[in-house]
Amino acid sequence: MEKLTLKIDNPQKHISQPMEVKSRYDETGKVKIASATKQFESMLTQMMLKSMNKTTGGMLGEEGYGNDMFDTVFEQEIASYMGETKSLGLAEMLYKKITGEEMKPEMRVKINNKVDPVKIKNNKTAIDSTNVHPSNESLNRIQKLDQHIDEAAKSFGVDKNIIKSIIMTESAGNQKAVSGAKAKGLMQLMDSTAVDMGIQNVFNARENILGGTKYFAKMLRQYSGDVKLALAAYNAGPQNVEKYNGVPPFEETKNYINKVLSYFNHFSESKL
C-alpha cells in the first residue's frame, strides 16, 4: 500500500482553531458549567499557592505563629481573587471547550463571588411567606450582630435583611446553637460546609456569618438568583433541589422558606 503523506504548514492550526459547535446546553446548564470551571480554576490556583507556601515555609516562616490559619485564608482569598480577575483564563478556556461558546461578561457576573443585591420585594416568592414575628429577645441578639452582617452583605452582595432572616430562622441569634443534625452556630453550618467556606471556628459569630453568607451567595449563583431555590438548597441541600427539579416536597423545607421570607418582610419594614 502506498504511504500517504500530509503537508502541514502550521502544526498548531488544527489545535488553535476550535471546532465550531452549537451549544447543546440551556442557560441553567451553562451557568452550572461556568460555575464548575471557575471552581476548578480556583482550586488549581489554591493548590499552586499551597505548593509555593510549602516550599517557602509559609507566609510567616516555618516558626511563624498562626501560620496554618493565615496561609489557608491567604490561599483561599488569593485563589478567589485570581479567579475573578481572569488571571489564568482557565475557566474561560474550559467553558469554551465544553459549550463551544465564549464565556460572556454577564455569565462571569453570575458566577463570581459578588452577586447583585437580592431584590426580594420584587420576587414573586415573597408573597407566600407566612406571618411570623421574631421575639424581642432574639431581635436584641440580632442587633448585636449588625457589624458582622453588614460586612457579609458587602463582601458577597447579599441583602443584609435576608442574612438576618436566615440567622433568625436557623438559630434566633444564638451563636452556640447546635441542631440534632449537628449543624452549628448562627447560620447552622454543617462541619463539611464550614470547612469548604474556610471557617476556622464555627462558633465565632463573624466567621459563621461570613461563611454562611458565602454559602448562600453560592446557592444564589447556582440557581441564577432564584431566592426560593437558594433557600431550599440551603435547608435541604442542592442535591434535593436537583432531584425534584425545584423546591423539594418536604414540609420542613417549605416552612423554612416561608419563615425566612416572613422575617425578611419584617426586617425590610422595620428600622432595624
Please state the domain extents for the chain. Answer: 26-111, 120-269
Across 239-266, average pLDDT: 93
pLDDT at position 11 over 90? no
Please give the Cα distance from 3 to 250 (Å, whole number).
67
Grid coordinates of 232: 431550599
pLDDT at 58: 54
Told to judge if 170 belongs to the known catalytic residues of this protein, a careful annotator would answer yes
The share of the chain scoring above pLDDT 70, in percent, equals 64
Please give the Cα distance from 36 to 132 (Å, whole number).
37
Q: What are the pLDDT digits (tens) for 194-222?
A: 999 999 999 999 999 999 999 999 999 99
pLDDT at 16: 45
117 or 31, higher pLDDT: 31
242 or 113, higher pLDDT: 242
Give me the amino acid identity at 174. Answer: N
Residues 6+ apart with CB under 8 A from 67: 58, 59, 60, 61
pLDDT at 19: 44
Please give the Cα distance from 148 to 257 (Å, whole number).
23
pLDDT at 132: 72
pLDDT at 102: 83
Mean model confidence pLDDT for the chain: 76
Q: What are the pLDDT digits (tens) for 46-71?
A: 666 666 656 655 545 555 444 444 44
H-assigned helices in the chain: 13-16, 27-56, 67-84, 90-99, 105-111, 136-143, 146-156, 160-171, 191-196, 205-222, 227-236, 238-243, 251-269
* CATH number at 120-269: 1.10.530.10
Dihedrals phi, psi of 189, to nearest 5 degrees: -95, 135
Please give the Cα distance from 91 to 93 (Å, whole number).
5
pTM of model > 0.85 = no
Catalytic residue among 77, 170, 251, 269: 170
Closest by Cα among 155, 57, 168, 44 to 94: 44
